[in-house]
Amino acid sequence: MAETSTLHRALDGQQYILLTTFRKTGVGVPTPVWFALDGERMYVLTGPKAGKVKRIRHNDKVQFAPCTFNGKVRGPALNGVARILPTEERQKAIDALNKKYGLIKRLLDLFERHLDKRIYLEIKPAPGE
């Protein structure tokens, strides 16, 4: 039997993570977000003008923990590394989020005017996590 990874043990069955990105000063900025697991990585969807996008461009180190929709932490935080997916790599993220959130995500997509401007993040656990 394959061993369950730390990522899956921490996040299986969860709907939200508290994603903390870091300002240039080192101050963390936590935000509850939807996510979808795909092997040893997860995907997050956000808007192009979101502060987390700017912060990840300057510092790819992040922390994440399972949480409620309003950010109440429900488990231990893990360290990770985030990157902004280029357009040609977004389909796996789109598919994973659509599969996890189903009809709710597709309904939100119907009301989004600029689907092509969305930003998809790929987050992997930091080495040793």
C-alpha closest to that of 123 among 74, 47, 54, 64: 64
Q: Residue 13: is its pLDDT beyond 50?
A: yes
Of 1-5, 16-20, 92-96, where does mean pLDDT reach its minimum? Answer: 1-5
Instruction: State residue 1's pLDDT score.
Output: 38
Domain spanning 6-125: CATH 3.30.530.20? no
Q: What is the distance between the alpha carbons of residues 123 and 107, in angstroms, rounded to a whole number?
A: 25
Per residue in 46-91, pLDDT (tens digit) is: 988 899 999 999 999 999 999 999 999 999 999 999 999 999 999 9
The strand pairing partners of 125, in sequence order, are 80
Q: Residue 2: is its pLDDT beyond 50?
A: no
Query: Which of 21 and 10 is assigned the larger pLDDT?
Result: 21
Q: Are strands 36-38 and 28-34 parallel, antiparallel or unpaired?
A: unpaired
